[in-house]
Amino acid sequence: MKPIVWLASFPKCGNTWARLLLANLASEEPRGINTIGTGDGIASSRPRFDDTCLIASGLLTHEECDAMRPALYRHLAEGAGRRAAARESADDPLGVWQWIKTHDAWTCTTAGEPLMGGGAIAHAAVLIVRDPRDVVASLANHNGQTLEEAATMMADPDSAFAGRSDRQPLQLRQRLLGWSGYYRSWIEQDEVPVHVLRYEDLQAGAAGALGAVLAGLGISVDPARLERAALWSAFETVQAQEAESGFKEAPVKLGTGRFFRSGRSGGWREELSDALRATIERDHGEMMRRFGYLPEGRR
């Protein structure tokens, strides 16, 4: 078996950047944004579900798809383990595990089984978190929403990506549970160890922040390689790549036409009204304090 490390985040919290950093860390030359495992690189890949389960997911309800997903991830772990054993790739310390992106909250199927397959197939999760006051503007751009609409979605415990039933989305449904609900679901489950990676810490020093998380996972990496990966993954470089060749994972419609919008931390100070800021802090104050985005005494 080749266990999975889930790269878990609420949408627009830095998952793509983290994946690019890991790809560049494992590479001897710069990797582009369109070479980091699009499609099958995400847990909610519909084509992989269809090809592996030998059934068209479009014929199933969301709940029926969810019921099959734990078995799918067990199959991925077992199959990757057989392929790895046949290959002799011990030189790559990141290659010990499968690194798979997910926007799914930690939930259970109607049968009570963990959607992500549980601790038997996962080594750990890297939980990527970002200040929700910055997430709201990025999410609004991503979804073509107003800031207020995005904030409402982030506070909705029933929120989901690809959750429509009147058409077939490109991915399987991903239950989000809202920004606070998402992170609570992961940090309060006890099946898979969780290592928190804050977007703001990546911005302050990507090499150090990534190195610390990898050390927590038991991986020691040459600091020079970490610095090189950070340089190759710089936000300005990523924006230039998108401008030149687009980004395959971007939605068809974006508010500004850019997936990599600004990447700033603290941009909410200029983008949000006082009323909307207060609403977000009211909706998510408990989790914001837990991750250091609000002082402990602030309500």
Q: Is residue 298 part of a domain?
A: no
Number of domains in the chain: 1
Task: In whole angstroms, give the CA distance from residue 264 to residue 177.
Answer: 25
How distant, in Å, are the alpha carbons of 119, 142, 193, 194 from that of 189? 10, 29, 9, 9
Per-residue pLDDT tens over the stretch 203-261: 999 999 999 999 999 999 999 999 999 998 887 777 776 775 666 555 555 445 555 55
Q: CB 179: neighbour CB atoms within 10 A? A: 29
* CATH code of residue 180: 3.40.50.300
Q: Which residue has the higher pLDDT, 55 or 259?
A: 55
CB 178 within 8 Å of CB 159? yes
Residue with tokens 């309500």: 299
Full residue range of the structural domain in which residue 29 is found: 4-290
Q: Is residue 296 part of a domain?
A: no
Q: Is residue 297 part of a domain?
A: no
Q: Is residue 295 part of a domain?
A: no
Q: Is residue 205 part of a domain?
A: yes
Q: If you average pLDDT over each of 40-44, 75-79, 95-99, 159-163, which comes out highest?
A: 159-163
Q: How confident is the model at residue 28 (pLDDT cuts 50, 70, 90)?
A: confident
